[in-house]
Amino acid sequence: MKYLNTFLLLLLSSASIAQTYTISGTMKDSTNGEDLFGGVVVVKELSNVGAVANAYGFYSLSLEAGSYTLLYRASGFENKEVVIDLKANLTLNVELSIPKDVLEIEAVEVTGVKENDNITSSGMNVTTFNPKDIETIPVIFGEKDIMKTLQLTPGVKSAGEGNSGFFVRGGGADQNLVLLDEAVVYNASHLLGFFSVFNSDAVKDVALYKSGIPAEYGGRASSVMDVKMKDGNNKNFGVSGGIGLISSRLAVEGPIVKDKGSFILSGRRSYLDVFLKLSKQEDIRNTKLYFYDLNAKANYKLSEKDRIFVSGYFGRDNFGFSDQFGFDWGNATGTIRYNRIISDKLFSNTSVVFSNFDYRFTIGTGDDAFGVNSSIQDWNVKQDFSLFANKNNTVKFGFNGMHHTFKPGALTGGNDSFNELILDSRYGIEVGAYIQNEQKIGPRFNLMYGLRYSGFNLVGGKSYTFDDDGNRLTETTHERWESVKYHQGIEPRLSLSYVLSENNSIKLGYNRNLQYLHQLSNSTTNSPTDVWVPSSNNIKPQIGDQLALGYYQNLKKNAYRISTEVYYKTLQNQIDYRNGANLLLNNEVEGELVYGKGRAYGIELLLEKKKGKFTGWISYTLSRSLRTFDQINDGKEFSARQDRIHDVSVVLMYSITKNLAFATTFIYYTGSAVTFPSGKYEIGGEVIPLYTERNGYRMPDYHRMDAGLTWYLKDKKRFEHNINFSVYNLYSRQNAYTISFEENSETGETEAIQTALFKIVPSITYNFNIK
C-alpha cells in the first residue's frame, strides 16, 4: 500500500486542470500496414511533449486547445508533419513511409528535427533491431539471425561457437525471458544452437532489455528479449524467401480484407540430411539431422476500435541414426489477442497464450524400443492496459495468470530389462500484476517507475525434503490443486533520464526481477534435455537486482552515438549441483542442488555510426561475473563460466554502390572460465584428475572475423532479389570448443587436445521478394 500511495501521489501531482483535448490513433508503415511499435509523436512547439506508440501502434496525446505541428517519426522512416488546430478530441491515423534510399534519410535531417530519441527517452539500454537492419551482417551459414546479431552488442555474450544462446550482463542463459508474441520460448535454438528459432522472414522486430526492465515483464532474473512477429501486409500480396546452403525459407503474406486484416505464413527447413545422403559412409547416409519451423499470424480489424490477432509458431528438430536412435525436440506457441480502444486515452489488450516445449528420445526398434520424453507446457491469460493519462503521464497496468505443467520425463516401452519409469508431473500457477508510469517532468526529466507483484504457487505432485547432504528425509503426495509452496515478491522497476542538452543525457535504471522457473544443465553446452524445474519447498525463487548508470552523447548531428554504461547486479538463490549430480530422470533432482549467490558488474562502451554510406558500431565491455556457494570451491567466490573479462565487437557496414553492400564483423573475447586439473593421482590404477578450484582456468581467447557481400540484383517494380555471399571465420582461426586431456598412445604422455568446431565456412544465400 505504501508503494501505491506514493505512486498515485506522483501521478496526480502532475495532472493538469486546464481544458484539454486528446489526439489519438495508430501509427503504421505505409508500405505494408504493419504497426509501428515505438513510433513517436512530438509537438514541435512544445519542449519534451509527445507520446510513444504502444506495441500495437496506438498512441494518444492530450494537449490544451490550440494550434500545433505534430511530428510523427519512427526509426528507419521518413518523418511526417501534421498541422492541427485542436478544438475537440481528434483521431489521427498516420502512415509513415520508408525513404527510397539512404541519401533521403539525410534529406530528412534538413527538416531540422534531431533524431535523438536515444538521448531523451527514459528507457535505457533497450537494444532494438528489425531484420532489415541486420540484413547485410554476415552470420554463420548465411542465415541472418537476430539472436546472433544481438550478441554483437555490448553486454550480450554468446553461449559458444555459432551458438544462439546468450548471456546478458553476467546472468545465466536461463535468466533471459525470451518471448515470441508474448509466448515464452523455452528453447530458442535449432541444431544445438547454430540457428535460433526466429525466422527472420517472420520477425518484425526484437527488443532486448538489459536493465530498467519495464514492469510489464516478469519471470526471469536478467533480461527480456521480446520478439514480435510481423502482422502481414494488409495492402498487397507478397511472396518472399531465400535459398541457402543449409536451409531455405518461404513466406507468403497479404490482406484478408484490404486495410482491415492481413496474414503471414512463413516456413523454413534445413536440408543437411540431403547432403548426408551423398556420403560414402553408410553411417552418415543413415543419419537424420534437420529442423523446420512454421510461423503464422493473422489479424483483423473488427471495427475502428476492435482488432484481433492470432499467431503461432511450431518448430521441430530431428536427429536420428538409421532406425536405432531418434531424438527430436521443439517448441510450439500460440497467441490470441484482442485489442480494444476503450477510449481515446485507454487502450486494452487481452491475450491468451500457449507455449509448449518437449523432447523425445527413442532407442531401438520394434518390441525392444524404448523412449524418454519430457515437456513443459504453459497456458497464460494476460490483460494489459495503456492509459495515456495526460501529456506528461502514460500509465501501463495489467495482470496475468499462467498455469505451468512440468513433465520432467518418462521412460517408456522396451522389453523386460527396462522398467517403466514415469517421473511425477508438477504444476505451478504463476501470477503477476503491475502498474507503471512514464512521466515527463519539465523539459529535462523523464521517468519510468513501476511495481510488479509476482507470485508462484506450486500445486499438486509430490514434494520432498532433504538433509544437508541431499538425502531424502520425507516424501509427501499432494492433491492436484493443493498448494505445496507459495512464493511471492514485489519487483520495483525504475528508469530515469536527465537531458543535459539535446545531444547528451544521463540515465539511471534499477530493476528487481524474480524468477520462479529454473533450468538445470550440467553440461557446457545448451541442450534440449536441460530440465526446467519450478520453485518449490526446496528451491527459492532467483532474485536479480541491478543498478545501472549510463551517459549518452550524440555527435555530428546525431550521426554518431556514444554511450557508456556501468552496472552492478546481484543474484540471489542461484543454483548449482552436487558432485556427480544426476539431473536426468530423477524424481528427487532437488536433492542434487546447492544454492548460492552471484554478482556481476561491468562497464560497456559503444560507439555507433547511424547514418551515411558507412555505418556500424564498435563495442567494448569490461565485466566480471562471479558466484559464491558454500559447498563449491570451499565457499570461495569463483568465476561463472561466462565471466569473460574483455569483450570487443566491431560491426562495419558499407554501401559500395547502390546495389552492393559490404559488411564485416570482428569479435574478440577473453576465454570462458573453465575447470582444469592441477594434478593427478591414481585410484585402482586409474589416473584421476585432481582439481584445486572451480573455473580457475581460462579457455584460449576467442577471436574471429566474418565478412559478407550483398549484391542487390536489378529491381523490377514488383520484384526484388539479392545474393548474399558470406564467409564465417575469415582467417580460419581454430577457436577452442573443448579442451580435453588424453594420453598419447605412442609416447604415453598426457596431452591437451583442443577441438575447434569450424575453420573457415563460406556460404551463399539467394533472397527474393515479390510484392
H-run or E-run covering 525: none
- CB nearer to other proteins: pick between 194 and 427: 194
| Phi, psi (deg, nearest 5) at residue 366 | 60, -140
CB nearer to other proteins: give 128 or 527.
527
Q: Which helix (H) or strand (E) holds 351?
A: strand 346-363
Does 507 bind other proteins (CB under 8 A)? Our answer is no
Taking the complex as a whole, how short is the minimal distance between the CB of residue 626 and other proteins, in angstroms? 14
Phi, psi torsion values for 672, nearest 5 degrees: -60, 150
What whole-number distance in Å separates Cα of residue 495 and Cα of residue 510?
Answer: 6
**474 touching other proteins, by CB under 8 A:** no
Q: Which of residues 163-192 bind other proteins (CB under 8 A)?
A: 191-192
754 binds other proteins per the rule CB under 8 A: yes
Q: Which residues contact 110 (CB under 8 A, 6 or more apart)?
A: none
Q: Under rule CB under 8 A, which residues in 516-535 are in contact with other proteins?
A: 521-529
- Nearer residue to other proteins within complex by CB, 160 or 450: 160
Is the CB of 303 or the CB of 740 nearer to other proteins? 740
- Closer to other proteins by Cβ: residue 107 or 688: 688
Member of 117, 622, 696, 768 binding other proteins (CB under 8 A): 696
Q: According to CB under 8 A, which residues from 637 to 656 bind other proteins? A: 641
Range 203-242, binding other proteins (CB under 8 A): none
For position 675 contacting other proteins by CB under 8 A, the verdict is yes
Instruction: Tell me whether residue 293 or residue 530 sits nearer to other proteins (CB atom).
Output: 530
Q: Mark 313-332 with x for binding to other proteins (rule: CB under 8 A) and - for no binding.
A: ------x-x--xx-x-----
Stretch that binds other proteins, among 12-20, 66-74, 208-216, 687-695 (CB under 8 A): 687-695
Calculate the alpha carbon distances from 73 to 41, 53, 63, 223 in Å: 6, 10, 19, 27
Minimal distance, residue 579 CB to other proteins, in Å: 4
* Least distance (Å) between residue 522 CB and other proteins: 6
19 binding other proteins? (CB under 8 A): no
Q: How far is the CB of 469 from other proteins (least distance, A)?
A: 9
Q: How far apart are CA 699 and CA 673, in angstroms?
A: 6
301, β-bridge pairs: 307
Q: Give the nearest distance from C-beta 160 to other proteins in angstroms.
A: 9
- State the Cα–Cα distance between residues 371 and 313, nearest whole angstrom: 26
C-alpha 408/C-alpha 412 separation (Å) is 13
Q: Is 376 helix (H, G, I), strand (E, B) or coil?
A: strand
- By beta-carbon proximity to other proteins, the closer residue of 103 and 753 is 753
Rg (CA), the chain: 27
Kindly determine how many residues on this chain lie close enough to bind other proteins according to the rule CB under 8 A.
79
CB 165 within 8 A of CB 189: yes
Closest CB 323 distance from other proteins, rounded Å: 10
Give just the sign of the alpha carbon dihedral 641, 647, 651, 652: negative
Task: Please enumerate in sequence order all residues whose Cβ is within 8 A of that of 449, keeping only pairs 6 or more positions apart, or say none.
Answer: 7, 10, 436, 437, 439, 492, 493, 494, 495, 496
With CB under 8 A as the contact rule, the residue among 16, 635, 741, 764 that binds other proteins is: 741
Q: What's the min distance (Å) between Cβ of 91 and other proteins?
A: 54
CB of 706 to other proteins, least distance (A): 15
Q: Which stretch binds other proteins (CB under 8 A): 391-399, 541-549, 661-669, 681-689?
A: 681-689
Quick one: which of 537, 670, 560, 519 has its CA closest to 173? 519
Is residue 688 near other proteins by the rule CB under 8 A?
Answer: yes
Does position 369 interact with other proteins (CB under 8 A)? The reply is no
d(C-alpha 770, C-alpha 392), whole Å? 44
Q: Which stretch binds other proteins (CB under 8 A): 168-176, 306-314, 602-610, 730-738?
A: 730-738
Window 408 to 427, contacts with other proteins (CB under 8 A): 417, 419, 421
Q: Which is closer to other proteins, CB of 548 or CB of 626?
A: 626
- What is the spatial order of strands in the sheet that 223-229 belongs to? 126-129, 203-209, 223-229, 176-180, 183-184
- Name residues contacting other proteins, limited to 275-314 (CB under 8 A): 275-276, 279, 284, 287, 289
In whole angstroms, how close is the CB of 347 to other proteins at the nearest point?
A: 44
CB of 218 within 8 A of CB of 399? no
**Per CB under 8 A, 366 contacts other proteins:** no
Cα–Cα distance measured from residue 547 to residue 567, given in angstroms and rounded to the nearest whole number: 6
φ, ψ (nearest 5 deg) of residue 65 = -55, 145
Question: With respect to other proteins, which residue has the nearer C-beta, 459 or 571?
Answer: 571
Q: What would the x/- binding string for other proteins be over residues 591 to 630, using CB under 8 A?
A: ----------------------------------------
The residue assigned the cell 505451478 is 428
Closest CB 540 distance from other proteins, rounded Å? 21
The torsion angle over the Cα atoms of residues 525, 530, 534 and 536, rounded to 10 degrees, is -90
Whole-angstrom distance, CA of residue 627 vs CA of residue 576: 10
Query: Which one of 370, 385, 697, 725 is in contact with other proteins (CB under 8 A)?
Result: 697
The least distance separating other proteins from the CB of residue 749, rounded to whole angstroms, comes to 6
CB 286 within 8 A of CB 322: yes
Site residues for other proteins, window 552-581 (CB under 8 A)?
A: 576-577, 579-581
Does the footprint of other proteins cover residue 362 (CB under 8 A)? no
Report the 10 Å Cβ neighbour count for 82.
14
Dihedral sign, CA of 585, 588, 591, 594?
Answer: positive
